Amino acid sequence: MILLRQMIILMVLMLTGFLCRKLKVLGKEAFKPLSVLVTLLANPALILYSSLENVLTISTFELLKVVAFSFLVYACLLFASKIAAFFMVKQKSMRNLYVLMLAFSNIGFMGIPLVKMAYGAKELFYMTVFQMPYDLLIYTYGVYLISKNDERHSKGKCQLKSFAIKLINPGSIAAVGAVIIYIFHIDFPLVLSEPLKMLGNIASPISMMVIGASFYDIRLKDFLINYELLFFSVIKLIVLPALLVIIFCQCDISVEMLHVCLIVFCAPVGSMVVMFSQQYENNQELANKSVAFTTLLSVITIPVMQSILEIIR
């Protein structure tokens, strides 16, 4: 199975990052600039290059349909996450964090590189389109959720202007740029397209090494005795994705789009959740453990969910 092979490759890259940290080839401080490199440069370059090399014959109308569908997918995901969090968590103050962790997966660090490795050009282009509503929602509704119970931000500090500023980031700019490039058939000269290609190619190995290095600070027994975290991971990686995949399989959408939906639903908790939980002082320890544990488990669960998709579609 192609997807299982690619997940094993990603696991080897994560193990490499872990060993670099353990053997002190790279210190803890070295991985922070590497993560910034991926976020601000490598992933945006990958998104832009995917539109340049795309040879798909999709009309502008079809592209707009994909954009609209991506918003529909996230609306369904957020709705399902709200319901799941309501039954999973008794404390109202904690529910918003769980909604955030359930709905916003790691499509930047893991999703886009995985789609590039496992699927074709069409899936990669669709995933870049899905990046736009992701950025829009996580920097607006996501910030609203995580800061709702923070008194410092409940008295008007989280204004629309600050949301708009946060929306302007390399990932969202690259996603919009990719769509514009495709719609108007813009072609870059080789001296620009090749650097984009080379920068995009480093996104997968570096991002996986950064994730692997983060495991060094987490004890294994913290996972094994944490039944709540295990229960959350099962809901996040198996139950919720399975229900949504079954629903979307009944819709008249292409196999390529189903592949993208699968990755969006099944990817582990996004690293942005940790950044927000730290910024707004909302249980950062839980967010850290959730990212690490779901990332490890996703090496197994994503290929399993792919097999389920092949059976039911």
Residue pair 257/69 in contact by the 8 Å Cβ criterion: yes
pLDDT on residue 54: 62
5 — phi, psi (to 5°)? -60, -45
Percent share of the chain, pLDDT over 90: 22
Q: Which segment of 8-22, 93-107, 122-136, 271-285 scores lowest on mean pLDDT? A: 271-285
Q: Are 243 and 249 in contact (CB under 8 A)?
A: no
* pTM (whole model) above 0.85: no
Distance CA(141)–CA(71), nearest Å, equals 13
pLDDT at 312: 78
What is the reported pLDDT for 163? Answer: 56
Domain boundaries, the chain: 2-312
Q: Which amino acid is at 262?
A: L
In DSSP notation, 6-41 reads HHHHHHHHHHHHHHHHHTTSS-HHHHHHHHHHIIII
Task: Give residue 143's pLDDT.
Answer: 78
Q: What's the average model confidence in pLDDT over 183-190?
A: 84
Least confidently predicted of 110-114, 137-141, 149-153, 158-162: 149-153
Tell which wins on pLDDT, 312 or 303.
303
With a cut of 90, say whether residue 102 has pLDDT above it.
yes
Q: Give the model's pLDDT for residue 38.
A: 82
pLDDT reported for residue 130? 87
The pLDDT tens digits of the residues spanning 216-262 come to 877 767 666 778 888 999 999 999 999 998 888 888 888 889 999 99
- Indicate the CATH number for domain 2-312: 1.20.1530.20
pLDDT of residue 57: 61
3-state helix, strand, coil in the chain (%, to 5): 80, 0, 20
Q: How confident is the model at residue 94 (pLDDT cuts 50, 70, 90)?
A: confident
**Structure tokens of 3?**
């997807």
Residue 154 has pLDDT above 50, yes or no: no
Contact criterion met (CB below 8 Å) for 209 and 20: yes
How far the first Cα of the chain sits from its last, in Å, is 17
